[in-house]
């Protein structure tokens, strides 16, 4: 058994099991490890009578079964478990071996682990994996960062197992240190924003447009055939078509309106604030999940306050405007995420190529969308593009859809339908495209009460005024 397997994977849950089978399907032998004997047995059984797949619950057996330099991927929950697995592996590893964290680890944890393992002669890098269980099995988008030299040993495997967009693998070396985990974090932040926007448009169409679930299924399905083509729009259409096994109702109507989160959206939002980069659509998506958790309080508050009844609308016209508004808001959300990546790259020395990132998101990942082909081209045309909204290729796309967003935001406010994601996307756009904002008054206020100084329009320098009371 010793030195016969190309690739090792720790963590044989749904993601891990599917990923290792994907590796085997693509011609590489793979050995799995998990403390749970049932998961080990399940993988061996699913791998079938083949020398391509094997597994063990014993760490020493697992490590000794791998060719050197050993390539070991961890697909375990982020946090202390990652450190625990690493410590369990270390006594059995040799200098030059490679550990890859494929989970959603916080980027500073990756930097810490890389430095710690480097002292021991072990290569470590983070590789974000997106696509869910199905993606892991059939081809995910993979976002590796860290040692470029170490990545070369894993590159053939990752390129083989990743999703393909017109034949191109959806994986690329992204940059040094924690670049891979950071890009995956922002990917998930964008994901939060897109999901929030998709749910708001659903709410509008149901409450104001009066669309049935069958009509919503057809609407989202039709949208998925056009410029809104994306994984999230596709699965949304399928959700409206799902019947409930326990009642005679549609399943979507039986699901409690409390959305949970694992933290990556929050990390994106928090880090954007640290960098001074505005990502309000992502921020509010995180906040809405927190508001949704206050279910009991929301029920009580609903009984205390009156809410207007939605005014009648023309269903066809309203649905058309909803498509335009969603397209507009999707662009804005991607723009915010890419802006954060650009700034983080400078701040943390990641050397990110935004066109390359958009390119590997075109297939396999949760935020894959037809729009990403256009985003890829925009950044390939101008690698120093500061914001997607400054790309000439996106001006018409935004200009032709923003009015619909304005109309729906106005309708939502007048008729008591919350549209925080869409509202924030629109406000961000209006603020970003305004050459003059009222923040001059804020600077005057700050100088008035705290002598914080201000700058002037007509001359250079820092100024302070002794304000007259």
Identify the active-site residue in 114, 191, 234, 323: 191
Q: CA–CA separation, 75 vs 72, rounded Å?
A: 10
Q: What are phi and psi of 41, to 5 degrees?
A: -65, -40
Are the beta carbons of 145 and 176 closer than 8 angstroms? yes
The verdict on whether residue 112 carries a ligand-binding annotation is: no
Cα dist. 447→237, 276, 444, 458, 461 in Å? 53, 21, 5, 18, 15
List the end-to-end C-alpha distance of the chain, in Å, as a whole number: 85
Q: Which two tokens stand for residue 20?
A: 């290792």
The verdict on whether residue 54 carries a ligand-binding annotation is: no
The verdict on whether residue 452 carries a ligand-binding annotation is: yes
The verdict on whether residue 104 carries a ligand-binding annotation is: yes
> Quick check: is 87 catalytic?
no
The verdict on whether residue 131 carries a ligand-binding annotation is: yes
**Residue in the block written with tokens 């009642």:** 247
Identify the active-site residue in 39, 71, 177, 184: 184
Strand, coil or helix: 160: helix
Q: Which two tokens stand for residue 234?
A: 């596709």
Are the beta carbons of 145 and 173 closer than 8 angstroms? yes
DSSP state of 369: B
* Strand 71-74, strand 7-10: pairing: parallel
The verdict on whether residue 350 carries a ligand-binding annotation is: no
> Quick check: is 184 catalytic?
yes
Cα–Cα nearest to 281, from 294, 293, 269, 273 = 269
The verdict on whether residue 181 carries a ligand-binding annotation is: no
**For the residues of 178-215, what is the DSSP string, one character each?**
THHHHHHHHHHHHHHHHHHHHHHHHHHHHHTS---HHH
Q: Tell me which residues are annotated as active site.
A: 184, 191
Annotation: binding site? 104, 130-132, 187-188, 192, 262, 289, 446, 452
Which residue ranges make up the annotated binding site for substrate? 104, 130-132, 187-188, 192, 262, 289, 446, 452
């Amino acid at each position: 058994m010793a030195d016969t397997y190309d690739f090792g994977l720790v963590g044989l849950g749904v993601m891990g099991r599917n990923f290792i089978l994907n590796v085997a399907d693509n011609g590489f032998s793979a050995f799995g490890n998990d403390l749970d004997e049932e998961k080990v047995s399940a993988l061996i059984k699913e791998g079938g009578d083949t020398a391509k797949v094997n597994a063990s619950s014993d760490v020493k057996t697992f490590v000794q079964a791998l060719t050197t330099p050993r390539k070991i991927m961890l697909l375990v929950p982020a946090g202390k478990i990652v450190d625990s697995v690493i410590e369990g592996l270390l006594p059995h590893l040799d200098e030059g071996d490679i550990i890859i964290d494929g989970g959603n680890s916080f980027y500073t944890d990756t930097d810490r682990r890389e430095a710690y393992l480097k002292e021991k002669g072990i290569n470590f890098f983070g590789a974000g994996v997106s696509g869910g269980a199905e993606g892991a099995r059939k081809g995910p988008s993979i976002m590796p960062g860290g040692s470029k030299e170490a990545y070369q040993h894993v590159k053939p495997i990752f390129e083989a197992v990743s999703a393909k967009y017109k034949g191109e693998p959806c994986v690329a070396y992204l940059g040094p240190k924690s670049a891979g985990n950071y890009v995956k974090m922002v990917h998930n932040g964008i994901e939060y924003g897109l999901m929030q926007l998709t749910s708001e448009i659903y709410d509008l169409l149901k409450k104001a447009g009066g669309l049935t679930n069958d009509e919503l299924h057809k609407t989202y399905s039709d949208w998925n055939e056009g410029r809104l083509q994306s994984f999230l729009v596709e699965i949304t259409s399928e959700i409206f078509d799902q019947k409930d096994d326990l009642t005679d109702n549609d399943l979507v109507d039986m699901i409690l309106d409390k959305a949970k989160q694992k933290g990556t959206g929050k990390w994106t939002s928090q880090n954007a604030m640290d960098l001074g980069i505005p990502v309000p659509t992502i921020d509010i998506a995180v906040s809405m999940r927190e508001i949704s958790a206050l279910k009991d309080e929301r029920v009580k508050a609903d009984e205390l306050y009156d809410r207007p009844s939605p005014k009648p609308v023309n269903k066809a016209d309203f649905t058309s405007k909803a498509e335009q508004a969603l397209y507009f808001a999707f662009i804005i959300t991607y723009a915010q995420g890419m802006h954060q990546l650009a700034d983080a790259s400078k701040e943390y020395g990641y050397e990110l190529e935004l066109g390359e990132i958009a390119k590997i998101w075109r297939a396999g990942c949760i935020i894959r969308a037809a729009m990403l082909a256009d985003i890829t081209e925009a950044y390939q045309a101008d690698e120093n593009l500061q914001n997607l909204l400054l790309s000439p290729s996106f001006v018409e796309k935004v200009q032709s859809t923003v009015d619909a967003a304005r109309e729906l935001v106005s309708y939502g406010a007048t008729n008591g339908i919350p549209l925080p994601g869409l509202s924030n996307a629109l406000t961000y756009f209006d603020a970003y495209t305004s050459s003059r904002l009222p923040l001059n008054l804020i600077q005057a206020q700050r100088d008035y009460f705290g002598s914080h100084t201000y700058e002037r329009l007509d001359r250079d320098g820092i100024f302070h005024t002794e304000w007259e009371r």
